[in-house]
Amino acid sequence: MAGTGYYTHRDCWLHEMGAAHPECPARLDAIEDRLLIAGVMDMLQRREAPKASIHDLELAHTRMHVAALRGLDLFMQEELLAGGDGYSQVDPDTQFCPHTWNAALRAAGAVLAATDAVLGGELDNAFCAVRPPGHHAEHDKAMGFCFINNVALGVKYALHRHQLERVAVVDFDVHHGNGTEDILAGEAGALMVGFFQHPFYPFSGEKPKGENMLNIALPAYTKGMDVREVIDMMWVPRLEAFRPQLIFISAGFDAHREDDMGQMQLGENDYAWMTQIIKDIADRHAAGRIVSSLEGGYVPDALARSVEAHLRVLAGL
């Protein structure tokens, strides 16, 4: 049964980092409400995200990192039973709560299950409406709202479990995907292309860590047409030459002009255009196979409109 999959799980709503935190469960509510009202959800194949296995997590992360997260989860459960507030600070912006581990397992599991379904021919492509996001998580470190690097894990899984030879990542979040670069730099068979606002958190990306990295630093207030020119001139030739057999998208929507997390000037039409470019390349080289996973996007209405635009293109609506 081909079509576009929509992977999520209610566990992804339970992870939270405090009442005022921008990376909040309301992001998923806004997406689902918009897709339901617009009638897009009816055109998608909704699937429950399974939990990723520890064995699979270690494709992208060190055993010590995974063990530390599991240990922190056990500690949080004990703290909660003892009447604690249920939070542990991972970095200045990132907190671990009693539901974080299960949510992270579901987010990673969504990407792996989507990869299986797309490569198995059950789906043409898929979108993972999950949180916590992943592209800042490095091989041995959680940071920037991220604990497990869902997309980098998907790439490793496709290369080493499915034995693909060429897998690409496209990252259009406003922040540099430092974790994805950390995990995939120098990986035979992987290519990462992206753009990001610079200088900006996490203050990396200007100097590539490997020849398979093409992450383009752009100044604040860059407009959509300028981003499109960069994509046409730099991303597209590199992706065409690479001929990916599967494309992952780190789908961050915080470069939207209404999102105050960054200062770039994209709109929904730009996300639709980018998605179409990626889809065309996937159609030419990868039998249309795309797995997209939610990263940033912190103004609920702008996020929801952008995801709708993204999914309309993926689903051919």
* 65 tagged catalytic: no
CA 304 from chain center: how many Å?
A: 15
The one catalytic residue in 136, 176, 256, 285 is: 136
If you average pLDDT over residues 238-261, what whole number do you get?
98
1 Cβ neighbours under 8 A, 6+ residues apart: 45, 122, 123
Number of domains in the chain: 1
Average pLDDT, the chain: 97
pLDDT above 90 for 81 = no
What local confidence, expressed as pLDDT, does residue 1 receive? Answer: 61
For residue range 208-230, what is the model confidence (pLDDT) as tens digits?
Answer: 999 999 999 999 999 999 999 99
% of the chain at pLDDT higher than 90: 95
pLDDT above 90 for 86 = no
For residue range 112-152, what is the model confidence (pLDDT) as tens digits?
Answer: 999 999 999 999 999 999 999 999 999 999 999 999 999 99
82 pLDDT band, cuts 50/70/90, is confident
Structural domain containing residue 102: 4-315
Q: 185 by DSSP, 3-state: which? A: coil
Distance CA 254, CA 264 (A): 8
% of the chain at pLDDT higher than 70: 99
Distance CA 18, CA 127 (A): 26
> What backbone torsions phi and psi does residue 213 show, to the nearest 5 degrees?
-115, 125
- Global confidence as pTM: 0.97
Greatest CA span in the chain, whole angstroms?
A: 57
- Indicate which CATH number applies to the domain containing 112: 3.40.800.20
